[in-house]
Structure 1
Amino acid sequence: MLVDPGQLRLLALIEEFGSLTAAAEALRLTPAAVTQQVARAERQWQVPLVVRGPRGARLTEAGALLAVHGRIVDETTEKAAADMAALLGHLSLRLRVGAFQAAALHLVPPALVALRHRHPDADVSVVDLVSGQGPEAIGASRLDLAVVASWSDSFVFPPQVAAHPLLRDPLVLVLPADHPLAAGPSPAAALRLEQLRNEAWVTIVAGHAAREQFDRAAKEAGFTPKVRFETESFDVAQALVGAGSGVALVSRLALTHVPGTTHRELARPRLHRRLHALTQTDTTLTPLVEVYLGLLRDVAQERAAAWRQADQEPPE
């Protein structure tokens, strides 16, 4: 038999109030509608459930038994409502962010400061993230937003993940400060990759998308780079350049201006990576995601504007 929870709740209310009219008011129904429901329930259970009298109504033994379960239904639905309210309240304040190192240093913090001003009660957490882990972390709901870098303009994200463009991050050449090309006739002039064909290079480790991009560009420029050091970190690459170990291609966002180094724009090919913020396609339950995404976009636009201004300023 398919049991109607509404019937159980009705019987519990009749027992509580001792009246069909009072039960009808609690359910916001008419007394006639409640009478019909009682009749339907008695037909279904094939036993009398309610005894009507001049002073109200009382339950039969069978009706009282079902009313016990009706009270459980009421308690369960009330708990469900409370649990859902608590969940929605928590989710409305929750923001779990993941970001790769350069973004975690230069993009995430300013946006967090702005978020704290708007929502001081926000429950925010930030974790370090390898870009390749971002789509899976978002798809599995372990993070609400992930800032990732992609080295291909045709990168495809999973269908349940929304990718929001943030920034085109150009690669720049990092040279020892005393390198002949660091001064040259015009220190502000961009350099071509083939001008460094005979240099020793500090590169990202083989197999990484950044290294694959560099190797393709060097091949198109007509040379095979002499790789002296490999690293997984742009920070380490710049430190090695500062130590005189070679030259390197580094993301502009990751520039640390290590003492003993300088950087020059790359003329052609103009290599870059693209930064995206990843979220789930539906962020209805986590409204801070959209707020923080807007703040991240503002920070990224300010960074891009600062780069453009620096490129236009004449050298000192």
Structure 2
Amino acid sequence: MDLDLRKIRYFMAVAGELNFGRAAQELHIAQPVLSRQIRALESELGVQLFVRDRRRTELTPAGEALYADAGPVLAGAEALRRRVGRAARGTDAFTVGFMPGLIVTGAVRALTAAHPQLRVEVLRTSWADQVEVLRDGRADVSFVRLPVDQRGLKVTTLFEEPRVVVLPSGHRLASKDEIHLDDLAGETLLQPHKAVPEWQALTGDTAPRDEGGPAPLAVEEKLEHVASGSGIVILPASTAGFYQRPDVVTVSIADLGPTRVALAWDATRRSRLIAEFAALAAVHLSSPRPTG
């Protein structure tokens, strides 16, 4: 049996909303059509995906399993579509994703010098999409900050660098040269807690900001919120150094381990260019110097 990706997309919309009406609106189709497509998918798979009554719609265990695994399948199909389309247009390009604070120019220049006919492009990413750009085909490789979801990826660590806390200039700790993590107890962390796993151990918070509500994603947004006194952020030292401004300060955290920078790519791809770029990245990308 071949899976119908259109039906899988319909399923993902319903699973995301847990409401057939809203999912139908999102998909721009009639609700009865959507219901028929979901029933057809259940028939093809031989399982029940949803429990539905007058009050609510819920995923069954089979539905939960499909929801967990279908995202990468759809992303892989989209990535394949992008690469095939690019090849059909005769576009000889290689795209490198990178997180804020990282300078990837050396590796990019080295690849360009080795392949003058190749158009090497760069793509700025964020915590939200640093590996999604690989899964949906927007990037061939991506410089990521760990931890990331490594399913289906090849990940090779390049270097480590310290992390600092960014505080408003009038903060009680702003004049310190160094603090400890527990000095920040009671503060509001303005970023997804998965970006700072140690934070949950400190606070015992089981509802990270990224699951309980929207968090500012871009570094510039984070710093605006810090400057206004809404909370704090913890950043790699190089990122904080790139975004210096007079109304915030950075302070070292003595007992917070470093962040790791890695190169990642789709593990199923057998590309000579990816292997070549990985070797170049190991030579040309190193830990940035601490900024004063």
Aligned equivalents of 1:166, 1:173: Cα separation in 2:
23
Q: Does 1:209 align with 2:194?
A: yes
Q: Does 1:262 align with 2:219?
A: no
For the Cα contact (< 8 Å) 2:167–2:174, is it kept in 1?
Answer: yes
Cα 1:217–1:110 change in 2 (3 A) is farther
Aligned equivalents of 2:200, 2:260: Cα separation in 1:
18
Aligned equivalents of 1:260, 1:253: Cα separation in 2:
18
Cα 1:113–1:259 change in 2 (3 A) is farther
Aligned equivalents of 1:293, 1:111: Cα separation in 2:
9
1:182 corresponding residue in structure 2 = 174
Aligned equivalents of 2:170, 2:281: Cα separation in 1:
37
| Equivalent of 2:103 in 103, 107, 124 | 107
Query: What is the CA deviation profile of residues 238-274 of structure 1, one whole-angstrom value per residue up to 9, with x for unaligned ones?
Result: 2222234333222334211122212111122x14543
Aligned equivalents of 1:217, 1:169: Cα separation in 2:
21
For the Cα contact (< 8 Å) 1:107–1:296, is it kept in 2?
Answer: no
Residue segments in structure 2 that go unaligned for 5+ positions in a row: 1-86
Give the SS at the match of 2:244.
coil
1:191 corresponding residue in structure 2 = 179
In the TM superposition, 1:111-150 aligns within 5 A as 111-129=107-125, 130-134=129-133, 136-137=135-136, 143-150=139-146
Residue segments in structure 1 that go unaligned for 5+ positions in a row: 1-86
Q: Does 1:157 align with 2:151?
A: yes
Aligned equivalents of 2:252, 2:96: Cα separation in 1:
31
TM-score by length of 2: 0.53
1:5 corresponding residue in structure 2 = none
Deviation at 1:94, TM superposition (A): 4.4
For the Cα contact (< 8 Å) 1:172–1:251, is it kept in 2?
Answer: yes
Aligned equivalents of 1:275, 1:111: Cα separation in 2:
14
Deviation at 1:192, TM superposition (A): 0.8
Identical residues among aligned pairs (%): 19
Give the SS at the match of 2:260.
strand
In the TM superposition, 1:234-313 aligns within 5 A as 234-255=219-240, 256-268=243-255, 270-281=256-267, 286-303=271-288, 306-307=289-290
Query: What is the CA deviation profile of residues 182-231 of structure 1, one whole-angstrom value per residue up to 9, with x for unaligned ones?
Result: 224xx2xx2112213244x24114xx6226552333339xxx99x9x942
Q: How many residues align?
A: 194
Query: What is the CA deviation profile of residues 137-156 of structure 1, one whole-angstrom value per residue up to 9, with x for unaligned ones?
Result: 4xxx664322233327xx64
Give the SS at the match of 1:113.
helix
TM-score by length of 1: 0.49
- Once superposed, what is the RMSD of the aligned Cα atoms? 3.7
Give the SS at the match of 2:285.
helix
1:30 corresponding residue in structure 2 = none
For the Cα contact (< 8 Å) 2:160–2:287, is it kept in 1?
Answer: no
